[in-house]
């Protein structure tokens, strides 16, 4: 049985239903999902828009993170999709989903998946603040200049 069922980085809107379906399984007693959305404020500054970009190797890095979590956690299914391009306030930027036999396993693996995605996958966001200033924020993975 394949544990890592869906990994992608795409420039089209993301679907909760797609990821839920990807990790649904008769062996799973729990499914945990995390949905990251574009908010209109960051560190006290008003945000008007946000754009994500990714290094060409980002999908490979995302697969590596997913494979590591699948190997280290007792789970049934795993899926992760990150969006790139220009997003509006309220848009879904990232969804991760994990199914497991028990809820604790699903919650733990889901948290690890989003945390490691954010630190290990070279996806960067640029926020456009009210007033027109743009700032790069987010990832600890270096962004090329």
d(CA 95, CA 37): 9
Residues 73, 112 contacting (CB under 8 angstroms): yes
pLDDT over threshold 80, residue 141: no
Is 138's pLDDT higher than 70?
Answer: no
Decide if pLDDT at 10 tops 70. yes
The residue written with tokens 């399984």 in the block is 25
pTM of the model: 0.92
Provide CB contacts within 8 A for 46, sequence distance 6+: 40, 129, 130
Residue 38: C-alpha distances to residues 69, 74, 83, 113, 144 (Å): 26, 31, 11, 19, 23
Question: Domains of the chain by range and CATH?
Answer: 4-37+56-123 (3.90.1170.40)
Q: Write the pLDDT tens digit of every residue in 25-63.
A: 999 999 999 999 999 999 899 999 999 999 999 999 999
Looking at residue 132, what is its pLDDT?
Answer: 85
- The contacts of residue 45 (CB under 8 Å, 6+ apart) are 129, 130
d(CA 111, CA 91): 21
pLDDT digits (tens, 9 = 90+) for 77-116: 999 999 999 999 999 999 999 999 999 999 999 999 999 9
Handedness of CA 14, 56, 110, 52 (dihedral sign): negative
């Amino acid at each position: 049985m394949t544990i890592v069922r869906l990994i992608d980085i795409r420039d089209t809107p993301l679907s909760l239903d797609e990821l839920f379906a990807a990790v649904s399984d008769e062996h799973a007693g729990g499914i945990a999902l995390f949905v990251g959305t574009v908010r209109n404020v960051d560190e006290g500054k008003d945000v008007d828009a946000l754009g994500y970009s990714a290094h060409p190797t980002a999908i490979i890095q995302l697969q590596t993170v997913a494979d590591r979590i699948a190997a280290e956690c007792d789970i049934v299914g795993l899926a992760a999709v990150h969006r790139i391009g220009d997003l509006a306030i309220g848009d879904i930027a990232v969804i991760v989903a994990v199914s497991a036999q028990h809820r604790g396993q699903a919650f733990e693996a889901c948290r690890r998946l989003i945390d490691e995605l954010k630190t290990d996958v070279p996806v960067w966001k640029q926020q456009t603040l009210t007033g027109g200033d743009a700032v790069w924020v987010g990832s600890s993975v270096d962004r090329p200049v």
